[in-house]
Amino acid sequence: MTSYRQPGVVLTDHRFTVPLDHADPSGERIELFAREVVASARAEADLPWLVYLEGGPGFGARRFIGRQAWLGRALEEFRVLLLDQRGTGLSTPVNRQTLPLHGGPEQQAGYLGHFRADSIVRDCETIRPLLTGGAPWTVLGQSFGGFCATHYLSTAPEGLETVLITGGLPSLDATADEVYRAAYPRVARKVEAFYARYPQDIGAARRIAEYLAEHRPVLPTGYILTPEAFQSLGIMLGGGDGSHQLHYLLENAFVRTPKGPALSDAFQESVATALSYAGHPLYAVLHEAIYGQDSRPTQWAAERVRGEFARFDAAKTLAGEGPLYFTGESIHPWHFDSDPALRPLREAAELVAARADWSPLYDPARLAANEVPVAAAVYHDDMYVDTEHSLRTARAIRGLRTWVTDEYEHDGLRAGGPHVLDRLLALVRDED
């Protein structure tokens, strides 16, 4: 272990080895990285533990400096563990460079099957006794981290003191198709609100999409920028400041050149950064698999369901006069053609999409008998997680208390972290 300091905190880096497949503990092992954070003034105190599960899938835990965002509030009473979930951050990485170590596409797809919420929770239960001496801990789950926390409640509630969920109460039984069928209307509302705020961007977005349809430029990173790829920038609209960020990106799209208008270098760089999955390829490969629970393959549900919503068809839009609709948190087969970080994973991703033997992630009967204190922030029109799905799940988990709010978007824990965490702690302790 390595300990060091930042303003107001002491950090300790931990590394653990766990089975790749918890059903085969004598088989291949992988490494987990986690960063312990404690307030400097309480570094030697016997404090309860809070483990943070980041959103995703495929993102490592947030890298805070000092007591940023919600962390400062947590450090008032907890020793915090920022876990890089398996395959992310400084844990054994999963990407186009490392997956070939495990064989061809079929072997890679089998390997990738061990990186869902069920394995993440088993990891937590493996390392918890090593840190807490066996005591249960509090879990704070953001977005996909809340999906993991719900699985935790279903399978290992004995390890939990309290559960706090922000923007991450999943449907217990919705298929991937049903998830995206509920998602596209929400995305449409966000796009319409964006254009209402910035009406000048209706024309700007069309001009960019028309240029892309004609030229199909390749960005300096090797990313092929198609109209569909451009539409996927709508994922930004799910954050509190996302509409403003998207507006500023669009206003800088073109420059005049001797050969006519061209995409500016600054625009290309910003778009390449926003669209690349080089830093989180598991998000693309496993995004639909987080909804897989039965014998039906997910089979590119977002792409299939999109056909039911004609307004998201870029070609039809450009053939007419209506506004271009951006898409949201969805992964499509073309991602594995456009993004150079994903191209080598295309065959494995196809096999993951075709998989038809995913194990159930949630146990409704056990959740109905839940005894762990749980509180969840449900954002009123969350673009990423359907509000009605979340509320239906909230009603199915015994004792869960909800805070339904439109004060924040999906990133409320980041944008209003101390307030959000304080409110959830008050709820779970019956203080509010």
143: closest CA among 423, 411, 406?
411
- Provide the token pair at 119: 């394995």
Residue among 26, 46, 295, 357 flagged as catalytic: 357
Residue among 91, 119, 143, 338 flagged as catalytic: 143
CB 279 within 8 A of CB 339: no
Distances (CA, A) of 299 to 90, 105, 106, 231, 343: 30, 16, 16, 21, 18
286: three-class secondary structure by DSSP: helix
Distances (CA, A) of 285 to 199, 349, 383, 389: 35, 5, 21, 23
427: closest CA among 395, 403, 392, 394?
403
Number of helical (H) and strand (E) elements in the chain, helices listed first: 18, 11
84: three-class secondary structure by DSSP: strand
Q: For residue 143, indicate whether it is catalytic.
A: yes
Q: For residue 410, indicate whether it is catalytic.
A: yes
Long-range contacts of 421-428 (CB under 8 A, 24+ apart): 421/70, 421/73, 421/74, 421/140, 421/164, 422/73, 423/377, 424/164, 424/166, 424/375, 424/376, 424/377, 425/164, 425/375, 427/375, 427/401, 427/403, 428/162, 428/163, 428/164, 428/373, 428/374, 428/375, 428/401
3-state SS string for 248-280: HHHCCCEEEECCEEEECHHHHHHHHHHHCCCCC
56: three-class secondary structure by DSSP: coil
Residue among 151, 287, 389, 410 flagged as catalytic: 410
Residue 295 backbone dihedrals phi, psi, to 5 degrees: -85, 0
CB 329 within 8 A of CB 182: no
Distances (CA, A) of 207 to 212, 242, 318, 369: 9, 21, 9, 55
- How many CA atoms lie less than 13 Å away from 48 in the CB half-sphere? 13
Distances (CA, A) of 167 to 96, 147, 248, 387: 30, 9, 26, 9
Cα–Cα distance measured from residue 12 to residue 232, given in angstroms and rounded to the nearest whole number: 38
Catalytically active residues are 143, 357, 410
